[in-house]
Amino acid sequence: MGKSTSDRVNNQARMYSEVVYEVVKSAFTTGYPIDRKLAAFFRKNKKFGSSDRRFVSETVFSLFRWWGWLSKLIKSESVLWNIKEYNVATNQGWLSILLAANLLDRDALHPIAARWKNSLKDFRTFSKYLEVLGDKNIEEKARGLCAIFKVQTLTESDLIPKWFADECYIPKENLSLLINMYQKRPPIWIRGQCKQILALRDELKKEGLTARRSEYLGDAIMIEHPNKNLFELESFKSGKFEIQDFASQIIGYVCNAQPGQRWWDMCAGAGGKSLQLASMMQTKGVVIATDIRSWKLDDLKRRMRRAKFSNISIRAWNGKGIPGRSANFDGVLADVPCSCSGTWRRNPDARWTMKHDDIKTLSKTQFEILNKAAKGVNKGGILVYATCSVFDRENESIIQKFLTDRDDFELDSFPHPISKENVKGMVRIWPHEANSDAVFVCRMIRN
């Protein structure tokens, strides 16, 4: 490697360490989601090419994914986030964290990570052989990291917040499965929005993508770590598919909207489930989509045009009343704001930035939203409550309280989306069951 090349890599290593520090520090101090922070940073700094963006993003996500272990490599987190700007690239604690994050998720040592290693003054005290751990299981990763960085013990439970067990009532063996899934990069799931799903899958394969149709939901296709921008594909531009996680598609499955019905998607957001409901109804009937975040609905408008759906009506909503008359809908979907703990594979920063007290606040809001949603359901109509949370206080506890308070709703049975056996109104899907996010869905009928 020539001197100019070596200097270039050294400069990149320094720049990357500073950028990652800025993004991660911002997430910890402000709670701002890292995916949005990274997008905003790259929009502002056009000098970063695709390879730069990819390496920085992967490092940031790896760092948050393994933060429960990486934080043990330093003496104090508060000291870490007060490093002077000109010292970031040489700070030994920060360099150890960067190196370890890359070792944990990679199968080969990246040249930039090698420069971080060479900048560690005390690296001679580490193992002489630097073991890359990306292809190891979680127990082997723990042993390897302990050996390299002279840490006494690292456990699975270190990878989730200390209060997690107080909120998620799950058998020990399933908790281990959940933590292991949290540590893996998630695939991309899409929902076919056309009649020929197998033809769509084959079209994606021709694009060089590893597309596999779900054995549980016929419209769902899994794409393992796509090597190209899905938004640029002609099949996407023509409305043949929408990017929507398998867990999110489960919610639409439980709704089971029928042609000619009238549905209210109460917290529609960007409209993924509004589009799914409209598709299930074969454009016959109407879906009213509302959200208190009007800017979110702008995404739905664009998606509607691309998919050529005419049976979705977007309404401004202040979060108080009902769009139209009371008891005016055959079905109401309340996919409520939640802790998003079921999406920690895709959003590993939230695992460490959310506070335990947030769940109490969220559960109060969720109960209020569910009661508002109930006012829109006509007699014999369906009320669906959903979260992407793994915490009982946001799920079963809400439903139990709701059904205790009123006698005009009862649980409505439906086939389990995976086993197809009948379930009495409530279902949870865990990440290890479908290689997806976690989701809780409850279906009730107004009697």
Whether 202 is covered by a domain: the verdict is yes
* pLDDT band of 128, cuts 50, 70, 90: low
- Residue that terminates a domain, selected from 123, 140, 159: 159
Mean model confidence pLDDT for the chain:
93
Q: Best-predicted range by mean pLDDT among 70-74, 90-94, 392-396?
A: 392-396
pLDDT value, residue 326 = 80
Mean pLDDT value across residues 86-91? 89
Radius of gyration of the chain (CA): 24
Residue 155 has pLDDT above 60, yes or no: yes
∠ CA 409-396-242, nearest 5°, is: 90
The secondary element (H helix, E strand) that includes residue 380 is: strand 377-387
Give me the mean pLDDT over the 4-17 stretch: 87
Residue 125 reports pLDDT greater than 80: no
Considering the domain architecture, whether residues 332 and 226 belong to the same structural domain is answered as no
Same domain, yes or no: 269 and 414: yes
Q: Do 39 and 147 lie in a common domain? A: yes
Q: Please indicate, yes or no, whether residues 136 and 119 belong to a single structural domain of this protein.
A: yes
**Does residue 40 belong to any structural domain of this protein?**
yes
Long-range contacts (CB closer than 8 Å, 24 or more residues apart) made by 397-402: 397/363, 398/363, 398/366, 398/367, 398/370, 399/426, 399/442, 399/444, 401/367, 402/367, 402/370, 402/371, 402/374
**Within a domain: residue 173?**
no
- What integer pLDDT is reported at residue 295 of this predicted model? 87
| Per-residue pLDDT at 124 | 57
Amino acid letter, 307 = A
Query: pLDDT value at position 127?
Result: 53
- Burial classification of residue 109, based on how many CB atoms lie within 10 Å of its CB (0-12 exposed, 13-18 middle, 19 or more buried): middle
The CATH number that applies at residue 232 is: 3.30.70.1170
pLDDT in tens, 406-443: 999 999 999 999 999 999 999 999 999 999 999 999 99
Per-residue pLDDT at 121 exceeds 90:
no
Residues 348 and 427 in one domain: yes
| Same structural domain, 152 and 231 | no
Report the SS3 class of residue 214. Answer: coil
* Whether 407 and 348 share a structural domain: yes
In a domain, 311, yes or no: yes
Q: How far is CA 265 from the centre of its chain?
A: 20
In a domain, 166, yes or no: no
Percent share of the chain, pLDDT over 90: 78
- Whether residue 165 lies inside any domain: the answer is no
The model's pTM is: 0.94
Evaluate whether residue 180 is within a structural domain.
no
CATH of the domain at 281: 3.40.50.150
Given pLDDT bands bounded at 50, 70 and 90, which one contains residue 331? Answer: very high
Residue 168 falls within a domain, yes or no?
no
Instruction: Tell me the CA distances in angstroms from 304 to 32, 237, 298, 333, one per residue in order.
Output: 29, 12, 10, 19
Q: Identify which of 226, 222, 182 has the alpha carbon closest to the alpha carbon of residue 345.
A: 182
Q: Is 80 exceeded by the pLDDT of residue 130?
A: no
Residue 444 contacts residue 412 (beta carbons within 8 Å): yes
The answer on 203 and 83 residing in a single domain is no
- Write out pLDDT tens, residues 272-319: 999 999 999 998 999 999 999 888 899 999 999 998 999 999 988 888
35 and 144, same domain (yes or no): yes
- Co-location of 154 and 192 in the same domain: no
240 and 193 within one domain? yes
Domain end (from 200, 224, 244): 244
Specify the pairing of strand 262-265 against strand 286-291: parallel
pLDDT band at residue 269 using 50, 70 and 90 as cut-offs = very high
The domain boundary residue, chosen from 224, 244, 264: 244
Whether residue 209 sits in one domain with residue 127? no
| Domain span holding position 194 | 187-244
Residue 337 · residue 268 · CB < 8 Å: no
Task: Give start and end residues of each alpha helix (H) in 256-395.
Answer: 272-280, 294-307, 350-353, 357-374
- Tally of domains in the chain: 3
